[in-house]
A and B are shown apart, each in its own frame.
Chain A
């Protein structure tokens, strides 16, 4: 059976727009003297990561595509390619993005791929392009399986996924403060996504949204950017390299070293691979709950404020504390 359905590769076509927008943002910062920071090597690394992401898609994309086409062959459903179906596909794929992104922060195996998007201490349009090279190895393509089994054509699913990534480009900026209130309520915005890139205890594990911020509000992970808690961009343990190969693979190397050290039980080895980032068998590292608890020890006044809701205002002993 021939397959007449084809959609353009939206991300590739957006490349000229990305370049123009980066130049415009940089010019804006220079003229206004505010609205963000650029640094040569940081930006260069981010851009090379972006190019490498496209290259890894060209090289490894066939694996996910073969999997999707196999699903497409076994599903009896076909919703066609009408405009309402494409719109529905876009919304459901954004829900898919939310969960993949949430797994990306809560499962170290997936974090090893996603970490490099957060590895810059800067936040500008080039940061948006600091994308993974190793997504295929996370096996997160399985999260798209329900969409295809429901009858959305694989080419359409990939097309709307590309649109989703393109939407997220423009929100990586400090040049825009807040959008109109209705927009901030429904859509992911520069303000919401700045919080997502924060290493401050308050902002850890929040705002996983791609396009619609409503998923975070539905699933309890929304934290609005606070004026009195400026976002400190980057990782809890910032890396000390601009080398794209080290940026792309450092967490995979970390998993390997941790999981293969002598004297661990199988359970501990698996936890080094799949537990939330910050797991350690000897308590020598902190995960995000522990970091938040330690922050509240130093700043009890933050108890119960956005990002710390899970810590009861009344009880003085926060959970998951470690000596």
Chain B
């Protein structure tokens, strides 16, 4: 196949599918509740015991305390990703907090928090 035609097909096809999905509402983030956050945490870490869950007001992240320490779970497209808060840094962010994992495949996540939430979360994230 001529390279130009292949290029047009590939670029046009990818762009067309992405626009179609976005316009039909497929870009929505998963919204977490305390129950789904806990359920999802156990999906990622089935050996843990969840102690309690604090969901951010926008429902796109939750701080999970477990028998093996605190962890963060957040909406990742229609799904979730979760990490224990072991090797991490956090920074102030205009929207709340930015948590950095020293991991090339999961570099950082921005958690939307209001002022009262932010100080509470900072307290919870401190290593026990």
Contact = CB atoms under 8 A, between A and B. Distances in A.
A38 B9 contact: no
B105 A40 contact: no
Nearest to B29: A39
A44 B11 CA distance: 11
A251 B9 CA distance: 30
10 contacts: A15-B9, A16-B9, A19-B9, A23-B20, A39-B77, A54-B10, A122-B78, A238-B44, A238-B82, A298-B47
B107 A242 contact: no
Contacts of A44: 14, 17-18, 21
Interface string A28-44: 00100000011111111
Interface residues of B, number: 35
Nearest to A121: B79
A14 to B, nearest CB: 10
A40 B9 contact: no
B46 A298 contact: yes
A309 interface: no
A26 interface: yes
Contact of B76 (A240, A250, A294): A240
B13 A19 contact: yes
Interface string A1-25: 0000000010011011011001100
Given A240-B83, A246-B104, A26 B13 contact: no
Contacts of B27: 39-41
Interface residues of A, number: 44
A294 B17 contact: no
A237 B45 CA distance: 9
Nearest to A22: B17
A295 B43 CA distance: 12
Interface of B: 1, 6, 9-11, 13-14, 16-18, 20-22, 24, 26-27, 43-44, 46-47, 74, 76-79, 81-83, 101, 103-107, 109
A175 interface: no
A40 B27 CA distance: 5
A44 to B, nearest CB: 5
Contact of A239 (B9, B17, B24, B106): B106
Given A15-B6, A15-B9, A40 B106 contact: no
Given A19-B9, A26-B20, A39 B78 contact: yes
A319 interface: no
Given A15-B13, A22-B17, A42 B78 contact: yes
B20 A41 contact: no
Given A23-B20, A40-B22, A47-B17, 13 more contacts: A9-B1, A12-B6, A15-B13, A19-B17, A26-B17, A47-B13, A47-B14, A54-B6, A239-B106, A240-B83, A241-B106, A246-B105, A251-B105
